[in-house]
Amino acid sequence: MKSRNDMEMLLRRRTFLTRSGLGFGAAALYSLMQQQQSAQANANKGRIPGLPGLPHFPPRVKRVIFLCMAGGPSHLETFDYKPKLNELDGKPMPESFTAGQPIAQLQGKELKVQGHLTKFRASGKSGTLISDFMPWHQKMADDICVIKSMHTEQINHDPAHTFMNTGSAISGRPSMGAWITYGLGVDTDELPGFVVMTSVGGRNPQPIASRQWGTGFLPSRYQGVEFNSNGDPVNYVRPPGGITNAQQREIIDAIRQLNEHRLEKVHNPEIETRIAAYEMAFKMQTSVPELVDLSNEPKHVLEMYGAKPGDGSFASNCLLARRLAERGVRFIHLYHRGWDHHGGLVKYMNICCGLTDKPTWALLTDLKQRGMLDDTLIIWGGEFGRTPMSQSKGGAGRDHHIKGFSMWMTGGGIKGGTTYGNTDELGYNAVENPVHVRDLHATMLHMLGIDESRLSVRVQGLDMKLTGVEPAHVLEEILG
Amino acid sequence: MTEAGDDFDEKLDFAFRVALSRGPDSFEKKLFRRNYERQLEYYRNHPEQAKKLQTVGIFSIPKELERTELATWTQLARILLNLNETTTRN
């Protein structure tokens, strides 16, 4: 950022000197500017560089795959088993838990305990308890670290996603993928550093706004790029008939030259972003068709994921996530929308897990087989959990819950076959080693070699960070 | 193609005024001229490519328009319409 500020200063001075008739000043500055501009042009053409001095210490992983189960999966039907919950099934929820607590749709209703709607199984050598909705997760019990004491601050979907993505419920802050590509740069100049894909299936899929992968006050080039999971991954990625690749190159070059010409006059940094975006778009006309062409994937790999190319499923997105990871993409964010199980929880858990359980196992297994789990961090979880109290909007279900829920992490040496923290005897409050969203962020940044307290940008007089103002803690105990 | 004059300068000036509310400066003129010549040469040598380009979209092309010239100006319009100055207000 410093060099850009310097350049803006120079440009302002040059305009001033030219306009005030001090032509000699402009002439002297010209050669200096030429050097800076050619450096800038190189940066525009090539891969996005990281900040000087980053990573702060040797990173454990190079990239993150974030599997967001949008809607808020029930921790009580996935990873958090509480015998007491079954004992009190159907009985009134003790008020000691709920008095004065934030409640979403159950507000003003009679609160009754809902026992587990499935059985749990001690899985793997570690014996981690995982529900029977997730037989493929049971197979990977020894690879993952389940964090059972997550808590967040937002009880409705959109603000909760915003909180999970940006560390703030107020929209307009950079998302974690933007922060990470801003800090570390990108290992590819063929694809964006931050790619998002979504899939749907389950109960009442909530929309996901594109600002969830926004760039906030960071330059626009760090924002996430959403690939369509159906049809062309990027609209109009194929050039129209009658235009060759060489011609397209000439057109893009002409646009670049004219934009640079404009930049010299008006020095709007967003023009630089556009120049870089056109360059990236041109490269993506080759790299994206190659990325999504799954014809060279062996049959057993497609079967392992359960992916049918172009079907827009979570399975196909998982396979594409591996391919994006192989190609140097820094942050890959998959959303599966359909986990909002206010009612019909059993039916919809079967659907959601049916669509995501095996592909998640396949992604982990595939990365492991390729040695990529050593330098890839996978994070699984929703924007919140679900209440120990029952709700029945068409069969038993559960309401939104923010005081305790489960997520898991793996990769980069994170201790597999372990759990971290715990909720109380009814799965309501995170009581043992509570993990706030900012602690999750701090741990993720730490895995990438970033000290969360030193990745900040001054905006309106404040040093803004992903982790916010309050102290954030790295979960040292789960690191290998 | 039909509203501006016949020669290159008049056409470019017209295009600039429609897209940017201003005429081109000398740098821009030179750059568009160079691209005009290169694209024209390509479509002269590859008339089938010009035809292919003109199957994009639903606009029916007036018969009196010369196909090579039209394909060339299509390319120049793609440059002009994609400039930062065209697509943003500042």
Reported as a single tens digit per residue, the pLDDT across A374-391 is 999 999 999 999 999 999
The residue range of the domain holding A447 is 63-238+296-478
Question: How far out from the chain centre does Cα B27 lie?
Answer: 17
Residue A175 lies in a domain: yes
Kindly state whether A261 is in contact with chain B, defined as any CB-CB distance less than 8 angstroms: yes
How confident is the model at residue A277, as a pLDDT? 85
- Residue A375, domain CATH: 3.40.720
Contacts of A273 in chain B (CB under 8 A): none
A468 and A325, same structural domain? yes
Classify residue B24 as left (phi > 0), alpha (psi -120 to 50) or beta.
beta
Q: Tokens in use for A311?
A: 């079907």
Classify residue A204 as left (phi > 0), alpha (psi -120 to 50) or beta.
left
The SS3 assignment for A333 reads strand
Residue A262 lies in a domain: no
**8 A C-beta contact, residue A353 and residue A202:** no
Please tell me the distance from the alpha carbon of residue A55 to that of residue A74, in angstroms, as a whole number.
36
Which residues make Cβ contacts (< 8 Å) with residue B85, sequence separation at least 6?
A259, A262, B20
Q: What is the pLDDT along chain A (480 residues), one digit of tens a residue?
A: 344 444 444 444 444 444 444 444 444 444 444 444 444 444 444 678 899 999 999 999 999 999 999 999 999 999 999 999 999 999 999 999 999 998 999 998 999 999 999 999 999 999 999 999 999 999 999 999 999 999 999 999 999 999 999 999 999 999 999 999 999 999 898 999 999 999 999 999 989 999 999 999 998 889 999 998 888 888 888 888 899 989 999 999 999 999 999 999 888 888 888 888 888 888 998 899 899 988 889 999 999 999 998 899 999 999 999 999 999 999 999 999 999 999 999 999 999 999 999 999 999 999 999 999 999 999 999 999 999 999 988 899 999 999 999 999 999 999 999 999 999 999 999 999 999 999 999 999 999 999 999 999 999 999 999 999 999 999 999 998
Looking at A53-193, list the stretches that DSSP marks H as alpha helix, in order from N- to C-terminal side: 83-87, 95-98, 135-139, 157-166, 176-184
Contacts of A248 in chain B (CB under 8 A): none
Please tell me the distance from the alpha carbon of residue A300 to that of residue A150, in angstroms, as a whole number.
36
- Mean of the pLDDT values across residues B50-70? 87
Position B3 confidence tier, pLDDT thresholds 50, 70, 90: confident
Q: Tokens in use for B27?
A: 């740098």
A182 and A100, same structural domain? yes
Question: How far out from the chain centre does Cα B71 lie?
Answer: 8
Rg (CA), chain A: 25
Residue A457 lies in a domain: yes
For residue A226, the tally of other CB atoms under 10 A from its CB is: 20
**8 A C-beta contact, residue A157 and residue A383:** yes
Question: What single DSSP character describes residue A97?
Answer: H
Which residues make Cβ contacts (< 8 Å) with residue A362, sequence separation at least 6?
A304, A305, A306, A315, A318, A319
Nearest-CB residue to B83 (from A247, A255, A270): A255
Position B59 confidence tier, pLDDT thresholds 50, 70, 90: confident
A128 and A15, same structural domain? no
**8 A C-beta contact, residue B33 and residue B7:** no
Q: Tokens in use for B54?
A: 């003109």
Inter-chain contact A274–B42, Cβ cutoff 8 Å?
no
Please tell me the distance from the alpha carbon of residue A224 to that of residue A444, in angstroms, as a whole number.
18
Listed residue (A381, A5, A319, A353) closest to A164, CA to CA: A381
Inter-chain contact A254–B35, Cβ cutoff 8 Å?
yes
Listed residue (B85, B71, B63) closest to B19, CA to CA: B85
Q: Tokens in use for A108?
A: 């003003």
Domain ranges of chain B: 8-87
How confident is the model at residue B90, as a pLDDT? 59
Q: How far is A244 from chain B (nearest CA, A)?
A: 9
Q: Among positive and negative, which fits the CA dihedral A412, A418, A421, A422?
A: positive
**8 A C-beta contact, residue A372 and residue A364:** no
Instruction: Estimate the crossing angle of helix A345-369 against helix A314-326, to 10 degrees.
Output: 20
Listed residue (A431, A436, A478, A427) closest to A80, CA to CA: A427
Which residues make Cβ contacts (< 8 Å) with residue B11, sequence separation at least 6?
B1, B4, B5, B73
Chain B residue with the nearest C-alpha to that of A274: B84
Report the residue of A44, A220, A243, A278 to disrupt the B interface, i.e. the one with the largest count of B CBs within 10 Å.
A243
Q: How far is B50 from chain A (nearest CA, A)?
A: 6
How many residues in total does chain B contain? 90
- Mean of the pLDDT values across residues B26-46? 96
How confident is the model at residue B65, as a pLDDT? 86
Chain A residue with the nearest C-alpha to that of B51: A242
Contacts of A268 in chain B (CB under 8 A): 84, 90
**8 A C-beta contact, residue A326 and residue A380:** no
A189 and A110, same structural domain? yes
Kindly state whether A34 is in contact with chain B, defined as any CB-CB distance less than 8 angstroms: no
A67 and A36, same structural domain? no
How confident is the model at residue A16, as a pLDDT? 43
ipTM above 0.90, yes or no: yes
Report the helix count and the strand count for chain A, using DSSP H and E.
13, 17
Question: What single DSSP character describes residue A379?
Answer: E
A141 and A19, same structural domain? no
Nearest-CB residue to B84 (from A247, A250, A271): A271
* Neighbour-count burial of B5, counting CB atoms closer than 10 A to its CB (0-12 exposed, 13-18 middle, 19+ buried): exposed
Chain B residue with the nearest C-alpha to that of A256: B83
Place of tokens 């369509």: A228
Kindly state whether A250 is in contact with chain B, defined as any CB-CB distance less than 8 angstroms: yes
Report how many domains make up chain A. 2
* Neighbour-count burial of A98, counting CB atoms closer than 10 A to its CB (0-12 exposed, 13-18 middle, 19+ buried): middle
Residue A53 lies in a domain: no
A76 and A8, same structural domain? no
Report the residue of A221, A245, A248, A255 to disrupt the B interface, i.e. the one with the largest count of B CBs within 10 Å.
A255
Listed residue (A199, A132, A157, A138) closest to A350, CA to CA: A132
Torsion of CA A68, A69, A72, A74, to 10 degrees: -130
Please tell me the distance from the alpha carbon of residue B72 to that of residue B61, in angstroms, as a whole number.
14
Q: What is the mean pLDDT of chain B?
A: 91
Kindly state whether A236 is in contact with chain B, defined as any CB-CB distance less than 8 angstroms: no
